Amino acid sequence: MLANVLMALGLVLVIEGLLYALVPSQLKAMMRQVQTLSDDQLRIGGVAAMATGVVAVWLVHAAMF
């Protein structure tokens, strides 16, 4: 279980690192746009992303076992 969590965190860092390495100017522009959003908009986006991730993990887990 711990190995899976560490692997998932490592993959997050790889994907985030790719964004910073490949499209730094677009990432800066996106960060500027995020600053204009309200806390509620960011919260809703975060919950939606989290729910999407949970569903994706659940589907992959169900398909493998």
pLDDT at 1: 86
pTM higher than the cut 0.95: no
Yes or no: say if 42 and 34 are a contact pair by the CB < 8 Å rule. yes
pLDDT at 65 over 90: no
- Would you state the pLDDT for residue 38? 97
Radius of gyration of the chain (CA): 15
CB-based contacts of 37: which residues, under 8 Å, 6+ apart?
Answer: 45
Whole-Å CA distances, 20 to 34, 49, 52: 16, 20, 23
CA-CA distance, 37 to 27, in Å (whole number)?
A: 16
